[in-house]
Structure 1
């Protein structure tokens, strides 16, 4: 499907459509966004009710920004355009699961509740907002990977240990470890459905992905192997691990996890292999740099890799099927490519001065109709309408250098 860059849907039109779905499934008792002082009983609680949160009719997008110099974290609310303090952390590397932001450092991770998230029920979506706050600090030796499911978060450390955190406790402002996995030294541990996927060492350079329960007990091992496992991504339909010959896609059928290889279809040098993936929250179109050659795009539903020869890029991302591939070049130019043809379809100078290799690098965050780029040198956040020739819809000035950024409320 070719992307029509002249007729993309407006960003908030999609949110409104989903909001109408939300209102239609609210189960009575007040419109979306209303909040009663009286706690509903178990039998009278509206569909989607969450204690302590306000349900809203549209996505509550927020950007969590880190100031690498001071360690301060702030939240830019994309609804009202205001920036508010969130807390302080030693780490400037940020990861999010759509609600919680994890600031990683050599000694662990500080966890913050951004107060904005969504719950996907498959045929409709609920959006929520609540008070943002710091949850606490998780101590450990250099967190390498952080991945989440709706019920838990797995933090994998450099020493080969991983801790599984209970989301229900985090939602109440507390950090609780349900299990510590001692042999997580072959790749990122990823929660999946009611299980957890644990890469373990196999014969030669192969990695075996074990399926374990929430207590860390082994249930099975996937038959499909993943040589030199590197990087992972959580999509709406399953988990993707990067392999030397492509990817391993883990899905579930009849309650059983199963693995399926998605080969590159060509020989790929190690320097052009994906090291990590960037994508829209839970999206099934994954992007990754391919060394200096360009960008890999993995269409998970179609089980297809495509190499778009953009040349060297600093940051990449895509909103998914029908949307363009976005690539930020070292020159500060943001470019859009049609994935099906590989052709460049738009470009604009966005960042006046790109940081050098020793400084924090910009990233591209995407949602249904907008992309966000943190301009570290100019202390700005650029909001881009990628459906309209990369038009800059808004820009937000901040009083610090936003060295790291993640989007929540998705």
Structure 2
């Protein structure tokens, strides 16, 4: 996944809701499942009226999963159907610069608001029921649930664990991704485990399949590397291995074989099979601070910057790091890109959205650009990283690309290499993410 260059504290306010074309309405409570022939777990037909049961009347069973896209705009959050690109339900009015992160349960999105990770319900989900599943849709809503944080930062999803990192305190809070939906239905948060780093910094953490925890090292003055802690709970985790040869450590990604990487200002660190390996940049300053990984590929896609003094460097080269061979390949695309330009396709192909408006599909092993798909008009990255710019988000075999200049959203079929649908949005889009439904 791509990551922002630096943390920022938003100006959280009490959200207000408005339905399109009507006067503001009060937010409804957390939803409860419709009572059907296959009643969902936790429903109680005999229970008295409540906000939950009132909201249930708005829920509908769907015949298939209903993927949705969530985007921020100046002052709020909106949702569109991922298949039709049509608006869905209500907009959440939320001031400040807000960041979006999939929660990992296929239904919710976590909104980094500065002092918390707010839980946004995208209103589409699937529940297993014996030998089959039921699919549901409801109006999206910004719930009152939130994980308290100090400078809410990165959110990482891996191995059915969601890990939240608070830059202002070093708090690392972990929960089972799949547990969020059930907990939210009951109006509460899932059980979490908390570990606090020795010093607060703009960092990131990843919990591995075996329960080990990878954390970044640093403080307010600088960031130096990573450490891996044994499986366990809270502060009882003991350190297993560390590497501090990673100035300016930033971002994370996971490749096939559970190789976890973080970027440095002079290369990349790879943690795999209990050992940390450094891949050095060919330049004294060669920053790979934003990365995108895929479980289908051993290769990590990263950016590549060489001008430390630049107010904003507009690189044209990307990095491809093979986590099996620890080899680095640089590929010149002939166009610059931003930290929101990196993605991976369903087969592990590397995707980069260039400032020339084209989406490049790259073979990660050879570095060959296999296709170039025109999607948006030419654009230039703003020097203010919070400003809207074309943003790439991949869900399944579709690449979604925003175009702030035309207030549009485009869907690209990665199998055919064609733009299959475009839509005008209600607002100028900034961040973009989605849920599978």
**What TM-score, normalized to structure 1?**
0.71
Per-residue deviation, residues 158-211 of structure 1 (Å, max 9, x unmatched): 223224153425542223563443326363122223343333469x94543323
Mapping 1:302-341, distance limit 5 Å: 304-311=327-334, 312-314=336-338, 315-319=341-345, 321=347, 323=349, 325-339=350-364, 340-341=366-367
Per-residue deviation, residues 263-289 of structure 1 (Å, max 9, x unmatched): 25x52443x321122346887553221
The alignment covers a number of residue pairs equal to: 351
Indicate the residue corresponding to 1:172 in structure 2. 183
What SS is found at the alignment partner of 2:230?
strand
What SS is found at the alignment partner of 1:297?
strand
Indicate the residue corresponding to 1:32 in structure 2. none
* Pairing 1:290–2:304 present: yes
What SS is found at the alignment partner of 2:192?
strand
Distance change in 2, residues 1:162/1:248 (3 Å): same
Task: Indicate which of 71, 78, 102 corresponds to 1:74.
Answer: 78
Aligned-partner Cα distance in 1 for 2:94–2:405: 21
Mapping 1:245-394, distance limit 5 Å: 245-250=267-272, 258-261=274-277, 263-264=279-280, 267-270=282-285, 272-279=286-293, 285-291=299-305, 292-300=315-323, 304-311=327-334, 312-314=336-338, 315-319=341-345, 321=347, 323=349, 325-339=350-364, 340-343=366-369, 345-348=371-374, 350-351=376-377, 356-358=382-384, 359-388=387-416, 390-394=417-421
Residue 393 of structure 1 and its aligned partner are, at CA, apart by: 1.0
Indicate the residue corresponding to 1:37 in structure 2. 37
What SS is found at the alignment partner of 2:189?
coil
Distance change in 2, residues 1:406/1:329 (3 Å): same
Aligned-partner Cα distance in 2 for 1:343–1:234: 22
Indicate the residue corresponding to 1:12 in structure 2. none
Query: Are the counterparts in 1 of residues 212 and 228 from structure 2 also a CA contact under 8 Å?
Result: no
* Pairing 1:63–2:69 present: yes
Query: Are the counterparts in 1 of residues 109 and 122 from structure 2 also a CA contact under 8 Å?
Result: yes
Query: Are the counterparts in 1 of residues 204 and 252 from structure 2 also a CA contact under 8 Å?
Result: yes
Residue 248 of structure 1 and its aligned partner are, at CA, apart by: 1.7
Indicate the residue corresponding to 1:138 in structure 2. 147
Residue 150 of structure 1 and its aligned partner are, at CA, apart by: 5.4
Residue 224 of structure 1 and its aligned partner are, at CA, apart by: 5.9
Residue 216 of structure 1 and its aligned partner are, at CA, apart by: 3.4
Distance change in 2, residues 1:57/1:200 (3 Å): farther
Indicate the residue corresponding to 2:436 in structure 1. 409
Task: Indicate which of 251, 270, 277 corresponds to 1:231.
Answer: 251
Indicate the residue corresponding to 2:310 in structure 1. none
Could you list the runs of 5+ residues in structure 1 that have no partner in the other structure?
1-34, 42-51, 120-124, 252-257
Per-residue deviation, residues 298-335 of structure 1 (Å, max 9, x unmatched): 34466553321114212122316463x33222233333
Indicate the residue corresponding to 1:96 in structure 2. 102
Query: Are the counterparts in 2 of residues 364 and 371 from structure 1 also a CA contact under 8 Å?
Result: yes
Distance change in 2, residues 1:248/1:355 (3 Å): closer
Residue 235 of structure 1 and its aligned partner are, at CA, apart by: 4.9
* Pairing 1:242–2:258 present: no
**What TM-score, normalized to structure 2?**
0.67
Indicate the residue corresponding to 2:207 in structure 1. 191
Residue 146 of structure 1 and its aligned partner are, at CA, apart by: 1.3
Aligned-partner Cα distance in 2 for 1:296–1:61: 31
Distance change in 2, residues 1:57/1:321 (3 Å): same
Query: Are the counterparts in 1 of residues 261 and 268 from structure 2 also a CA contact under 8 Å?
Result: no
Aligned-partner Cα distance in 1 for 2:136–2:329: 37
- List, as ranges, runs of 4+ consecutive aligned residues in structure 1 with deviation greater than 6 Å: 52-58
Residue 383 of structure 1 and its aligned partner are, at CA, apart by: 0.8
Indicate the residue corresponding to 1:25 in structure 2. none
Aligned-partner Cα distance in 2 for 1:169–1:387: 33
Per-residue deviation, residues 210-253 of structure 1 (Å, max 9, x unmatched): 235233321441266653332112456423323444222345xx
Indicate the residue corresponding to 1:47 in structure 2. none
Residue 350 of structure 1 and its aligned partner are, at CA, apart by: 1.4
Aligned-partner Cα distance in 2 for 1:313–1:355: 8
What SS is found at the alignment partner of 1:172?
helix
Query: Are the counterparts in 2 of residues 309 and 342 from structure 1 also a CA contact under 8 Å?
Result: no
Distance change in 2, residues 1:223/1:166 (3 Å): closer
